[in-house]
Structure 1
Amino acid sequence: MHYQSQQEMPATWRCGRFLFDFHKRKRPIVMGILNATPDSFSDGGKFRSPKDAIAQAERMLADGVDLIDIGGESTRPGAEPVELQEELDRVLPVIGALKDCGVPLSIDTYKSETMRQALHAGVDCVNDIWALRQSGSVEAVLESNDCGIVLMHMQRDPLTMQFNPEYINVIAEVKQFLRGRADLLTSSGIANDRIAIDPGFGFGKSLEHNLNMLTNFAEFSSLGLPVLAGISRKSMIGKITGKDTNERVAASIAGAIMAADRGANIIRVHDVAETVDALKLWEAIQLDGSV
């Protein structure tokens, strides 16, 4: 069953040098996670050197990734902040090597100076867990005429977000926050077709909140913006399956399909090949079985 109507589906998402047309493509965008960090929750340390990160990006490209999200600072629960220069040293060489790889690049950061330098180096999108609430962030994206922007909902901050998160109505409150941030950007002169939203699974949400959001994920499409689902290998999966991060691939794929069925336009994943294959089958079903 497909939960999203054509009326709710955004027409396009402008992402720097690239334009995604959601009326032409049935399958969600697969955003591959590239953590150039020593301490990310799932793959921290695996791609810490630029050489290893670039090799991983090449594997994702071969596996059919649509967008590569490069991060130089872990935002897992309890993560400590990273100094600006260290973050830049981690991500800029990777961006420089991949800027002409054929798919858009995204920078996963909340620091305005990292946004500026990454955009100058060739990224096409800014993916911000703080939804551009940090000083200078809105100004940084205003300096670009066409970069894509992903606004994420987070309660509190990475150090404290999982200390007893509370909502009266998680769906309504997350929607209200994301609508407000998107409206602020459009009122600042940023075109609506550059903005995507992410309800932020695991960022200040309990297991109950996360399952509520996944069950009712189609609600976020009512905002008329592309919606990103980031469920891959997260603790919600671990709590349900009892598996550690490297054993959560199957359940992550199931979550990706559930999100796609409920209108996700972008799915952020660690396991590109498996997700792409699963979504190809999902797409074939949307096309009434005609491949």
Structure 2
Amino acid sequence: MGIVNVTPDSFSDGGLYLATDRAIKRGLDMAAAGSDIVDVGGESTRPGASRVPGEEEKRRVLPVVRALAAAGVAVSIDTMHADVAEAALDAGACAINDVSGGLADPDMSRCAADSGVPYIAMHWRAPSDEMYRHAAYYDVVAEVAAELERRLDALVGAGVSFEQIIVDPGLGFAKNAGHNWQLLARLDALHALGRPILIGASRKSFLGRLIGEGSPPRHRDDATAAVSALAAAAGAYCVRVHNVAPTLDAVRVAAAWAHGGSAP
């Protein structure tokens, strides 16, 4: 999954793809580089970010979604607003990536249920401007798994098909660096939920802390590729990244290793 942030303030590339034509080119380049799906978002969820009104979010993302879908690119819409998700699906998106797992907008479960498209539900405790106040766990792996299981139950209870749902542990969302590493080391606990797992570690600050405090986000692609390969080897269904090519190479190496060099 390649990331296209149509935002002025995303932590890694905020502003680079705010212009519609640049965002479209970015998505097309990602598809050409081998991305299976391009994730288009118009609201930053970096630490401290404020919410964006739905109408502004639609103004940013809909032309990009429409153009990419018309070009044959599989597009997911990265949003917490049900009305944005519905408009993006009408414009050609084929999946919903909701970092709140349906908690930010009570209408999102209805949107997912009515559309029947794949729905990515991330572990989420609070909006970005206050999430670190909620980064307290006795056992982060057990608690994230339990909270995701409750979200699965709630979504299914609201009419979303169990088979539609993909889960995401929400690395960096109400979690510190240690929490992120513990979750990555115990993906087996998330596999027990019975749903595919998406991992979104790309360029995040916990990787920067590992390779050097002064490392800017764009210098974290090698570390991202390593996490992606290890996550894939541990059974992750999808990895969400800013730079497709090095991650695709790393995942191919992991697959060849696991299958003794034969095609997986």
Normalized against structure 1, the TM-score is what? Answer: 0.86
Aligned residue in 2 for 1:140: 111
Q: 1:263 aligns with which of 225, 235, 240?
A: 235
Checking the alignment, whether the CA contact within 8 Å between 1:164 and 1:206 is kept in structure 2 is no
Aligned residue in 2 for 1:97: 67
Runs of 4+ in 1 over 4 A off after TM superposition: none
Provide Cα deviations, 1:117-173, integer angstroms capped at 9, x if missing partner: 1111111111111101123111222221x2110000123220011236100111111
Structure 2: gaps (5+ residues): none
- Greater RCO, CA 8 A, separation 6+: 1
Normalized against structure 2, the TM-score is what? Answer: 0.95
What are the within-5 Å matches in structure 2 for residues 1-291 of structure 1? 31-133=1-103, 134-144=105-115, 146-163=116-133, 165-242=135-212, 243-291=215-263
CA distance in 1 between partners of 2:147 and 2:58 (Å): 29
Checking the alignment, whether the CA contact within 8 Å between 2:228 and 2:239 is kept in structure 1 is yes
CA distance in 1 between partners of 2:138 and 2:127 (Å): 19
Checking the alignment, whether the CA contact within 8 Å between 1:128 and 1:152 is kept in structure 2 is yes
- Tell me by how many angstroms 1:262 deviates: 1.6
Secondary structure of the residue that 1:197 maps to in structure 2?
A: strand
- Tell me by how many angstroms 1:194 deviates: 0.9
CA distance in 1 between partners of 2:230 and 2:259 (Å): 17
Question: Percent of pairs identical after alignment?
Answer: 40
CA distance in 1 between partners of 2:118 and 2:38 (Å): 13
Q: Which moved more, 1:225-234 or 1:160-169?
A: 160-169
Provide Cα deviations, 1:40-91, integer angstroms capped at 9, x if missing partner: 0001111111100010111111100001100000000000111221111100
Checking the alignment, whether the CA contact within 8 Å between 2:2 and 2:240 is kept in structure 1 is yes
RMSD over equivalenced CA pairs, Å = 1.3
- Tell me by how many angstroms 1:254 deviates: 0.9
Secondary structure of the residue that 2:23 maps to in structure 1?
A: helix
Provide Cα deviations, 1:227-282, integer angstroms capped at 9, x if missing partner: 01000000101111121101111111111112112221110000101111111121
Checking the alignment, whether the CA contact within 8 Å between 1:37 and 1:45 is kept in structure 2 is yes
Which protein has the bigger strand share?
A: 1
- Tell me by how many angstroms 1:288 deviates: 1.3
Which protein has the bigger helix share?
A: 2
CA distance in 2 between partners of 1:155 and 1:141 (Å): 20
CA distance in 2 between partners of 1:74 and 1:33 (Å): 12
Secondary structure of the residue that 1:114 maps to in structure 2?
A: helix
Secondary structure of the residue that 1:163 maps to in structure 2?
A: helix
Total equivalences in the alignment: 260
Q: 1:83/1:188 Cα in 2 relative to 1: closer, same or farther (>3 Å)?
A: closer
Secondary structure of the residue that 2:240 maps to in structure 1?
A: strand
Letter aligned with residue 87 of structure 1: E
